[in-house]
Amino acid sequence: MSDVVSAESIREAAGGLAGVAERTALLPLPDLGGNAFLKTENRQPVGAFKVRGAFTAIRRLSAADRARGVITHSSGNHGQAVAFAARHFGIPAVIVMPADAPRVKQDGVRRHGGEIAFVQNRSDRLPRCEALAAERGLVMIPPYENADVIAGQATCGLEILEDLAGVTTIVVPVGGGGLIAGIASAVRHFSPSVRIVAVEPTGAPKLARALEAGRPVTIENPQSIADGLLPQAVGTLPFEVMAGIVKEAVQVSDEEIGAAVRYLHQSTGERVEPSGAAATAALLAGRIRSPGTVVAIASGGNVDPDIFDRLVR
């Protein structure tokens, strides 16, 4: 068991996010019983939970390091969050993104004042990021391999535990693992009986493979409409942090994810991106047995209008 992210660090992160991140609502999910709720992280200022971790990590830098400016690699939501936080502190931000990143996420980075450096292949993001950081003296803010980022994401779990007495199961979409590691940290410290179920696309079952192997495993050519859930492996630090708490990972198809995007729009009015709808998809598809009082995390809402319109029709 890991205590990389302490209870004190989570509570400090929550205090530091006051007035920056939303304390997002828990909405009842119709047709899934009277005990299913949606944690609406799609309502965050950057449209995703990532603001919690990015802002926390940048705020905790020393003044000298922060003044150097920051850099990260991202398919979109973490990049927007880093740009948002950097603008708050008046520092430059460079975001290394794949050229095929959704246009809405590219536009979001630019809207928040971030500079984009494109790479053709997703696997080139980290090397390019490291090279630019060394060349320009920027501080790296990783999307999930960072204890302060994970502490920030843990505040999402803390809110769930504080706002919903009797919650028994939290269902979390998994990309690199920062969010689920944060949720696991909050559960470990504040309510260890709560069950956490990971959800990932059938075309990118990296956490399921890691749980089988006992270590992160690289998935070749992950594929899904859920672009935020496509890292080739869960992070080493997140996997360490979630050890002993996260024991289940279920998969959902692109068709099931699309159906969840449509269901959420029609039943709650929420605009949720495919990555953010994965947890709800697992509930709709019956992948999670005996969930009890359950919260599905809608991790983001940044979806290109054409894709959203096609999915909800």
As a whole number of angstroms, the distance between CA 122 and CA 19 comes to: 34
Instruction: Read off the pLDDT of residues 127-136 as tens digits, 9 standing for 90 and up.
Output: 999 999 999 9
pLDDT bucket at 2, cuts 50 / 70 / 90: low
Q: What is the pLDDT of residue 313?
A: 85
| Mean pLDDT in residue range 71-93 | 95
Instruction: Specify the CATH number for 52-140; select among 2.60.40.1180, 3.40.50.1980, 3.30.1490.20, 3.40.50.1100.
Output: 3.40.50.1100
Amino acid, res. 14: A
| Per-residue confidence band for 273, with pLDDT thresholds at 50, 70 and 90 | very high
Q: Taking 70 as the threshold, does the pLDDT of residue 1 lie above it? A: no
Backbone phi, psi, residue 110, to 5° = -65, -40
Q: Report the C-alpha gap between 183 and 200 in whole angstroms.
A: 16
Confidence band for 122, pLDDT divided at 50, 70 and 90: confident
Please give the model's pTM, rounded to 2 decimal places: 0.96
* pLDDT tens digits along 231-256: 999 999 999 999 999 999 999 999 99
Lowest mean pLDDT among 27-36, 51-60, 155-164, 188-197: 27-36
pLDDT at 101: 87
Output the pLDDT for position 84: 97
pLDDT digits (tens, 9 = 90+) for 3-20: 799 999 999 999 999 999
Cα separation, 172 vs 196, whole angstroms: 7
Distance, CA of 33 to CA of 19 (rounded, Å)? 33
Output the average pLDDT for the chain. Answer: 95
- pLDDT, tens digit, for every residue of 93-112? 999 999 988 899 999 999 99
Average pLDDT estimate for 214-243: 95
Fold of 7-47+146-312: Rossmann fold (3.40.50)
The domains of the chain are located at 7-47+146-312, 52-140
Query: CA 191 to CA 185: how far, in whole Å?
Result: 10
Query: Same fold for the domain at 7-47+146-312 and the one at 52-140?
Result: yes
